[in-house]
Amino acid sequence: MAGTRPPSPDPIDDRFRRHSRLIGSGVTLAVALYVTIYASWTWERPHRAALVAVVLGGAVASLALLAIPIDVVTTRLRRSVLALAWTALALTVVTVLVALDGGTTGSALATLYFVPLLFATLAFPPGLMAVCSVGAVATYVVASIVDGADGAATFAFASALTTSSGVCAALSWAQHRQRDALARLSRADPLTGCLNRRGLEERLHAELARAQRSGRPVSLVVLDLDRFKAVNDREGHAAGDARLRWTVECLAAGIRPSDALGRLGGDEFAVVLPETPAARAEQVAARLSQALGERSPASFGVATSPDDGREAERLMVCADQRLYAAKARR
């Protein structure tokens, strides 16, 4: 069913996550270097070799989590599980390091509790960022109680950690809201509100990639408005813009929520139909043509993967050829 299908892969989101992983790897290596230098500098104190072993082991495990391919972590649930696993690992390693270095009150390594917060601010959505914040504060407080640390010192450090968590959560919320808004704007047609060419092509690529895994068909319907230039010449560009907006409203009303409607440019539009064979796509095109009627008549071309090709560019070419053949007949 359309409502239960997972969301399409987002190339912009994928790039963001790849950059976040690179930063996470850099932070992990920096912490490992910092702790190794600290242990070497204070080698006369107990457990220095254990400090180095724990931080290097934690770094290897952390990098292994960050190295899981983006293509494997395709759903929001899997991304959330991976993020929580990384957070739990980081907090566990920090707690062990602090315990080996003398406890929460006497160890300079307690400041490492702030590191997962900073990375989560950059890489996690606000909900997971809040979970990370609560986990960091709770882990520190429990570790302090186990150590028998001074209550006033525990309160002061936990308060600073909580305040920092609140600031980080607010920054995470603002950053992700801004990123989502920019992503929508970069893929939206400013006149009609549907996808622009870039957004539609991204969606088509994503649906074809999913179809290769599932073996289900994907259809592309391309349409070009007939005699649209005459509307602009006769009634003006404002009337032409109004006609385009009405066309998008009409097309959007005739497709499923899981389908994607985009403006390729000018008076040419396209609809991506996931899990739709050729015969049904032809029916959709006929229904849309009837809905547009005499107010905005159009010519249609339909191509279906895998019958007409497995690549987006090939489907575009095939649908365009059938579109112009239909326009020539009309």
Residue-wise pLDDT tens digits, 197-254: 989 998 999 999 989 888 899 999 999 998 888 777 788 888 889 999 999 999 999 9
Encode pLDDT of 51-102 as tens digits.
Answer: 999 999 999 998 888 777 766 666 778 888 888 888 999 999 999 999 999 9
In the predicted model, what is the mean pLDDT of residues 184-204? 88
Pairing between strand 268-274 and 218-225?
antiparallel
In the predicted model, what is the mean pLDDT of residues 256-268? 93
Residue 164, pLDDT > 90, answer: yes
Per-residue pLDDT at 73? 66
- Looking at the structure, tell me whether residues 96 and 225 fall in a common domain: no
- Looking at the structure, tell me whether residues 110 and 132 fall in a common domain: yes
Q: How confident is the model at residue 4 (pLDDT cuts 50, 70, 90)?
A: very low
- Given 155, 186, 217, the domain boundary residue is 186
In 3D, which of 175, 139, 180 has the Cα closest to residue 158? 139
Would you say residue 298 lies in a domain?
yes
Residue 7, pLDDT > 70, answer: no
In 3D, which of 325, 265, 6, 133 has the Cα closest to residue 303? 325
- Looking at the structure, tell me whether residues 72 and 170 fall in a common domain: yes
Q: How confident is the model at residue 12 (pLDDT cuts 50, 70, 90)?
A: low
Q: How confident is the model at residue 321 (pLDDT cuts 50, 70, 90)?
A: very high
- Looking at the structure, tell me whether residues 205 and 312 fall in a common domain: yes
Would you say residue 97 lies in a domain?
yes
- Looking at the structure, tell me whether residues 153 and 233 fall in a common domain: no
Would you say residue 78 lies in a domain?
yes
Residue scoring higher pLDDT (307 or 232):
307
Would you say residue 31 lies in a domain?
yes
Would you say residue 208 lies in a domain?
yes
- Looking at the structure, tell me whether residues 177 and 134 fall in a common domain: yes
Per-residue pLDDT at 109? 95
Would you say residue 246 lies in a domain?
yes
Residue scoring higher pLDDT (296 or 92):
92
Would you say residue 191 lies in a domain?
no
Q: Residue 60: exposed, middle, or buried by beta-carbon count in 10 A (0-12, 13-18, 19+)?
A: exposed
- Given 146, 163, 186, the domain boundary residue is 186
Q: For the domain that residue 290 is a member of, what is the CATH number? A: 3.30.70.270
- Looking at the structure, tell me whether residues 126 and 217 fall in a common domain: no
Lowest mean pLDDT across 134-143, 173-182, 256-265: 173-182
Would you say residue 192 lies in a domain?
no
The CA distance from 181 to 176, in Å, is 8
CA distances from 73 to 60, 77, 81, 82, 243 (A): 20, 9, 10, 8, 42
- Looking at the structure, tell me whether residues 107 and 67 fall in a common domain: yes
In sequence order, the β-bridge partners of residue 225 are: 298
Three-state DSSP class for residue 286: helix
Q: How confident is the model at residue 255 (pLDDT cuts 50, 70, 90)?
A: very high
- Looking at the structure, tell me whether residues 101 and 156 fall in a common domain: yes
Return mean pLDDT, the chain.
Answer: 88
In the predicted model, what is the mean pLDDT of residues 145-151? 89
The total number of structural domains that make up the chain: 2
Q: Residue 3: exposed, middle, or buried by beta-carbon count in 10 A (0-12, 13-18, 19+)?
A: exposed
Per-residue pLDDT at 317? 94
In the predicted model, what is the mean pLDDT of residues 293-299? 88
Q: How confident is the model at residue 3 (pLDDT cuts 50, 70, 90)?
A: very low
- Given 161, 186, 211, the domain boundary residue is 186
Opening angle at CA 328, ends 269 and 260, nearest 5: 15
- Domain hosting 211: range is 197-329
Q: How confident is the model at residue 295 (pLDDT cuts 50, 70, 90)?
A: confident
Q: List b or e across 198-227, with b for residues whose CB sees 16 or more CB atoms inside 10 angstroms.
A: ebbbbbbbbbbbbbeeeeebbbbbbbbbbe
- Looking at the structure, tell me whether residues 314 and 182 fall in a common domain: no
In 3D, which of 163, 75, 86, 159 has the Cα closest to residue 124? 86
- Looking at the structure, tell me whether residues 234 and 148 fall in a common domain: no
- Looking at the structure, tell me whether residues 58 and 151 fall in a common domain: yes
pTM for the predicted model, two decimal places: 0.63
